[in-house]
Amino acid sequence: MAEIKVAQSAGFCFGVKIAVDSAIGAGKKYGKAYTNGPIIHNKQVVQFLEKLNVKELQSYSQLQEGDTVLIRSHGVPPKTERMLQEKGVNIIDATCPFVKKVHEKVRQLVEEGYYVIIIGEEGHPEVIGILGHLEESGGKGIVVENMEDLIKKFPKRNKVGIVAQTTQNEEFFEEAVGYIASNVEELKVFNTICDATSVRQEEVKRLAKEVDLMIIIGGKHSGNTRRLAQISKAINPETYHVEKAEELEKKWFEGKERIGVSAGASTPDWIIKEVVQKIKEFTKDS
């Protein structure tokens, strides 16, 4: 059988654990609850929660007074929270503490007079929340997704502050900081990439070098899982991104002796176990 190395950091981060546990708790306590979007980018978990009557909200207009809404780990803009309060709904705030930290840092930068550059994915719910806090505090700023974007949008400002979406790629963040540093007079940087993300990315980099093939598990829409797969593929071209065990193909493992496995922050342990089990089956004769 091939040697299978599973990254210690694979799977739910603590922010996702809080959100999923809160959603399960809300379903049990209130018999019905909504989440403001899929609680995590993982279909299997979303389906499990639906059985507890915890469902994704289609539109805020469907809410009635007294309904329960869980704010996901991504957080929301302050005006969304106010709107929910005005509707008289019961709010469970499962915003990850690391995301709240980004909100605080944005406010601090605005108070200190900085123009804010957010290193993140335009349109991502977390980034929408961060932009909401920027707007609320009266600040100005932009979101940049890659170096090309940064160069194209580069603001004519001398005093610039930087924060990152919590799941950003560390290498891009460092490259962007280097570029900005050489083009402004005054710079303040808060590396708000969360520990769970940086530890996971570092471990994938190490593992991808040691093995013949890498399997990255997680939702195809999960940004942090996609970034893990990109990081791994850049080091080890034999990298496959799968959502579940059924997607694995036996031929990938032919002649492979060492297999590395990691998973995004929204991948439950039971899916990781199923994938590992399937790899064992495929490689039992090798």
Among 99, 117, 150, 271, binds ligand F3S (CB under 6 A): 99
DSSP for 24-65, please give it. Answer: HHHHHHHS-EEESS-SSS-HHHHHHHHHTTEEE-S-GGG--T
Q: Tokens 């123009």, residue?
A: 115
Per the annotation, the verdict on 243 as an active-site residue is no
**In the complex, what is the shortest distance from the CB of residue 81 to ligand F3S, in angstroms, rounded to a whole number?**
18
Among 6, 16, 39, 275, binds ligand F3S (CB under 6 A): 16
Under 8 Å between Cβ of 57 and 37: yes
**In the complex, what is the shortest distance from the CB of residue 219 to ligand F3S, in angstroms, rounded to a whole number?**
13
Find, among 3, 11, 77, 1, the residue nearest to 218 by Cα.
11
Strand order from edge to edge, sheet including 258-263: 3-6, 258-263, 213-217, 239-242
Q: Which is nearer to ligand F3S, 40 or 259 (CB)?
A: 40
Among 9, 35, 42, 166, binds ligand F3S (CB under 6 A): 166
194 binds ligand F3S (CB under 6 A): yes
276 binds ligand F3S (CB under 6 A): no
265 binds ligand F3S (CB under 6 A): yes
Among 169, 197, 225, 283, binds ligand F3S (CB under 6 A): 197
Q: Which is nearer to ligand F3S, 33 or 196 (CB)?
A: 196
Q: Which residues bind ligand F3S (CB under 6 A)?
A: 13-16, 73, 96, 98-99, 166-167, 194, 196-197, 265
Which of the residues are catalytic? 126
